[in-house]
Structure 1
Amino acid sequence: MSTAEAIVGMGARAGSRTVMVSNRVALPGQTQTGGLAVALTAAIGEGSGLWLGWSGTLASDKRPPICKQSQGGLDYVLVDLPADDFEGYYHGYANRVLWPLFHYRIDLVDYHREQRDAYLRVNRVFAEALAQQLRGDDVIWVHDYHLIPLAQCLRDLGVGNRIGFFLHIPLPPPDVLNALPGHRALLGALEAYDLVGFQTRNDLQNFRHYQAQHVPITQPRCRSDAFPIGIDVDAIIRTAQANEARVAGHDLRASLSGRRLAIGVDRLDYSKGLPERFKAFERHLQSGEDAGHWTYLQIAPHSRTRVPEYQSLRRELEGLAGHINGRHARPDWTPIRYVNDSFPQSVLAGFYRAADMALITPLRDGMNLVAKEYLASQSPLDPGVLVLSRFAGAAEELPQALLVNPHDIDEVASAINTASSMPLAERQDRWHTMMDTLRGNDVGHWARRFLQTLRAPAAPPRTPTAPAEPAQKNTRQPQATLATTDGVPWQ
């Protein structure tokens, strides 16, 4: 049974529709480069369901604010966002406050109360658009840090449906979260969900420690658990064996003049540890151990180009790549190939299969699906070696990788040397064990487990609110009046 059939079949057995909500919607036919978009596309598949998110367009008087598309039994609802609020919501609070904070980078948090207010207003826009589309027995699944207050907004509109939330990025410990102005209101808004899911046990533990500190014992607490996200293993294998991938891999191999290939694929982001990785590869070159026999291909598509920290990172990486290549290159060899383009999955799978080693060394990462996709793309006869950061969520599932501290460039360089000389039998043993893990927790298992947990009765369910009926009064104590640390409520 395919992932799509499993999710749709589960919805049919439960007698309810699955409604996905995320900042962006992955429309059919679009090239998906982000881990979230790829995972959700695989999870919701084709069939009865609804997916709501931002249209990519800022609201104007020239077009309706909500657009609907359908393919098969799946409906896509695209919402235009107010132009005045988008900057504060997305580039401001979401990506200059929550993103660095949740990745343990308090030093990069740039907090402004007006951006927090824009974040709340956009969440209300999503909630109002979603409430118009809901049926009484829909089960709602909200995704990621852009939409933390969405359930609270829906409850204020009288929506009683079951609502789950999944955080795709890390959740830091309370000492880090407490640095955020208004953290009690933000994290308190999660209590409006019936289920909150995290990537790892460590993230879950951090959340429960936060609840213990800040949620009164007398207040009902939402259910929470760890649901490590997987990939569509069989689909990746088929893609890696398809003709387009074979051609891409063959052409890349042919350009190496017999040298071995190390690959990294990351969105250009300070959480990915790319400067540290470049320096570690240079340290490997300086070690003299097999140094001239490797080419390192780093694919890093640009992202959030308007955010100053990303502009600075781009300049730093360009300088590092130029310095390392200028110092170590030969007339017939460039040690680092640094590429900022995006590639479709069909091409990336060919690159993965051609690579003898993957360098996946983020400073912090919720999961990192590239590590899993690399493994699934390998040939069982001659698999490559995965060098993986201990601080990626995937490390919890894949201890057979060469786990490293990405801050320690000597340790990463040593792992590159170990990978260079690892015998075939050991590479195969490690790969087979990790593939067993990937198959046992693929994206279908992840989605089914989350939705089954969300649908399972844990407390008397709320009375569902049909969209056509007047909004019912929310019977849950409103969370919107929770005070922030600066004494100012969300609303």
Structure 2
Amino acid sequence: MTEDDEKQGSRLIAVSNRTAAGQESRAGGLAVALWDTLADMNGLWIGWSGRIIDYPSNRAKSSHEDGVEFAITDYSRHQYDGFYLGYSNSVLWPVMHNRIDLAVFDSEYFRFYVEINEKFSDIVRRRAQPNDMVWVHDYHFLLLGDMLREDGWNGRCGFFLHIPFPAPEVFRAIPEHRRLALGLCAYNVVGLQSGKDLANLAQYLEEEFGAEELPDGRFRVEGRTVRLLHCPIGIDTEGFARAALEEPAKKAAHSLSKFLGDRDLVIGVDRMDYSKGLPQRFEGMAELFDRYPEVHGKISFTQIAPPSRSVVEEYAHLRQQLDALSGRINGDYGDLDWIPIRYLARGYDREQIAGLYRLAKACLVTPLQDGMNLVAKEFVAAQDPEDPGVLILSQFAGAAEQMKEALIINPYDSASIADAVKRAIDMPVEERQQRWQSLYRNLIEQDINWWRERFMAEFEAIPV
């Protein structure tokens, strides 16, 4: 077989905790990008079904949809609690977001993490051919590449981390940190969202394993060679811009406009997660009302925060905290005809959100730590070029590296938030247009397809 024949016969196998099976799940940019690539390459997407059953099989059930094959597997209650709620979201998630204080280090959790990674490794191994490319997504599967190698599979294998990689001293808080890091080094390519994430991982590998840096971003670690790739994820910029003009977007904007009257809308849209800085954001708005009484009755802050992982204790506490803060702020500053904060603990469709973004004078994206944060990019994409709103962005979001024309703030500083909101609502239209044009240009140049092609180019450069 010639080299061209081998490449032509290559298939992409995507692995993620959840897949995009089902038309409704394909609305997001990542789902669309992966779907298009998988369809072009006769690909396979492996993931969890979302079902929790008593006696799940270690095998996966196959199905086909619009040119993409799926291999879907179930979890038991113990696997879900130990792997997903436990190690993934009570150990890795808090540590990677610099919240060691919230981590629950339980050896039983790691046992289930290993078990699920082994389960997925077995599913991949049974289906992967030597020329296939395996692209693994996110922190749920840090060990999967290593397990594939141990099982004798030597094909091309890449990994993309959608969340931050913390400073070395923070990552070392995880008892199994060395095993996790060596697992990452079994991949040919590891993609990271920001330059800071890449620097943190490189520093960790050098300090912990004496890694040798080679040309072109490659590192030799314990006899393995891994390419660290700065590859910030984008969105379907033009698609989201179109969504902001469609009927569902217009209806959502009209509904909120009736409540707003002539007030300026300041909006926030986030999963209810402690990494998003929501209590600090609410305190920033309280600071705004304290420092600038002239805005009373002139703006309305709407926070959309659908619950996330509500069975985890920290998330339940966060919801209670937000309930109390919004009630206090509205009680302190509200009036008969004005509610300063509208706090909605529910989700809305992508098209509806696009319409609300387009209506807003400013958007608060103030995470305490975030791998990228696509809300920032979606807000910019949805704007009216003639009268764009202003993005207020945390310095700790990965997106801040690309979106320097936003108003960059410290999310821990309530005065910084307050001043940025005041500046945004007072900003002349000419300055808003200039900032938006630069931001939008970058979103077009480095969209979701740019991200996919950048990573795939690294795959294709790996010798078969």
Range class of TM-score, shorter chain = over 0.9
Instruction: Identify which of 150, 156, 180 aligns with 1:156.
Output: 150
User: Could you say what secondary structure the match of 1:387 adopts?
Assistant: strand
* Alignment root-mean-square deviation, CA: 1.8
Q: Would the alpha carbon gap of residues 136 and 244 (structure 1) be closer, same or farther in structure 2, given more than 3 Å must change?
A: same
Q: Would the alpha carbon gap of residues 223 and 258 (structure 1) be closer, same or farther in structure 2, given more than 3 Å must change?
A: same
Matches within 5 A, 1:402-481: 402-457=407-462, 461=464
Instruction: Identify which of 287, 296, 314 aligns with 1:309.
Output: 314
**RCO higher in 1 or 2 (8 Å CA, sep ≥ 6)?**
1
User: Could you say what secondary structure the match of 2:225 adopts?
Assistant: coil
Bigger mean CA offset, 412-421 vs 74-83: 74-83
User: Could you say what secondary structure the match of 2:244 adopts?
Assistant: helix
Instruction: Identify which of 392, 395, 400 aligns with 1:395.
Output: 400
Following superposition, the deviation at residue 95 of structure 1 comes to: 0.5
1:300 matched residue in structure 2: 305
Cα deviations by residue, 1:2-43 (Å, 9 ceiling, x for unpaired): xxxxxxxxx99754222111011122223579xxx6423333
Assess if the C-alpha contact under 8 Å between 2:29 and 2:236 holds in 1. Answer: no
Q: Would the alpha carbon gap of residues 432 and 15 (structure 1) be closer, same or farther in structure 2, given more than 3 Å must change?
A: farther
Cα deviations by residue, 1:187-240 (Å, 9 ceiling, x for unpaired): 111111000010000000001001101224563331111100000011101111
Bigger mean CA offset, 322-331 vs 357-366: 322-331
Assess if the C-alpha contact under 8 Å between 1:352 and 1:374 holds in 2. Answer: yes
Cα deviations by residue, 1:47-95 (Å, 9 ceiling, x for unpaired): 4321110001134458895222211211121111233222111111111
One-letter amino acid of the structure 1 residue matched with residue 343 of structure 2: Y
Structure 1: distance between partners of 2:113 and 2:197: 23
Q: Would the alpha carbon gap of residues 414 and 12 (structure 1) be closer, same or farther in structure 2, given more than 3 Å must change?
A: farther
One-letter amino acid of the structure 2 residue matched with residue 353 of structure 1: R
1:53 aligns with 2:47: yes
Assess if the C-alpha contact under 8 Å between 1:382 and 1:428 holds in 2. Answer: yes
Structure 2: distance between partners of 1:164 and 1:42: 16
One-letter amino acid of the structure 2 residue matched with residue 429 of structure 1: Q
Q: Would the alpha carbon gap of residues 152 and 177 (structure 1) be closer, same or farther in structure 2, given more than 3 Å must change?
A: same
Instruction: Identify which of 62, 71, 86 aligns with 1:68.
Output: 62
User: Could you say what secondary structure the match of 1:228 adopts?
Assistant: coil
List runs of 5+ in structure 1 lacking aligned partners.
Answer: 1-10, 462-491
Matches within 5 A, 1:18-417: 18-31=12-25, 38-45=29-36, 46-47=39-40, 48-61=42-55, 65-217=59-211, 219-287=223-291, 288-417=293-422
User: What count of residue pairs does the alignment treat as equivalent?
Assistant: 446
Structure 2: distance between partners of 1:62 and 1:204: 37
Structure 1: distance between partners of 2:26 and 2:323: 25
User: Could you say what secondary structure the match of 1:255 adopts?
Assistant: helix
Structure 2: distance between partners of 1:414 and 1:252: 25
Assess if the C-alpha contact under 8 Å between 2:33 and 2:452 holds in 1. Answer: no
One-letter amino acid of the structure 1 residue matched with residue 200 of structure 2: N
Structure 1: distance between partners of 2:255 and 2:25: 22
Following superposition, the deviation at residue 155 of structure 1 comes to: 1.3
Structure 2: distance between partners of 1:364 and 1:61: 37
User: Could you say what secondary structure the match of 2:163 adopts?
Assistant: coil
Structure 2: distance between partners of 1:406 and 1:79: 40
Structure 2: distance between partners of 1:18 and 1:219: 26
Assess if the C-alpha contact under 8 Å between 1:248 and 1:347 holds in 2. Answer: yes
1:5 matched residue in structure 2: none
Q: Would the alpha carbon gap of residues 40 and 372 (structure 1) be closer, same or farther in structure 2, given more than 3 Å must change?
A: same
List runs of 5+ in structure 2 lacking aligned partners.
Answer: 212-221
Following superposition, the deviation at residue 139 of structure 1 comes to: 0.7
Structure 2: distance between partners of 1:64 and 1:114: 20
Cα deviations by residue, 1:260-309 (Å, 9 ceiling, x for unpaired): 10110000000000000001011111122423211111000101111111
User: Could you say what secondary structure the match of 2:31 adopts?
Assistant: helix
Assess if the C-alpha contact under 8 Å between 1:250 and 1:354 holds in 2. Answer: no
Assess if the C-alpha contact under 8 Å between 1:79 and 1:129 holds in 2. Answer: no
Identical-pair percentage: 41
Structure 2: distance between partners of 1:58 and 1:65: 15
Structure 1: distance between partners of 2:68 and 2:52: 24
TM-score (norm 2): 0.93
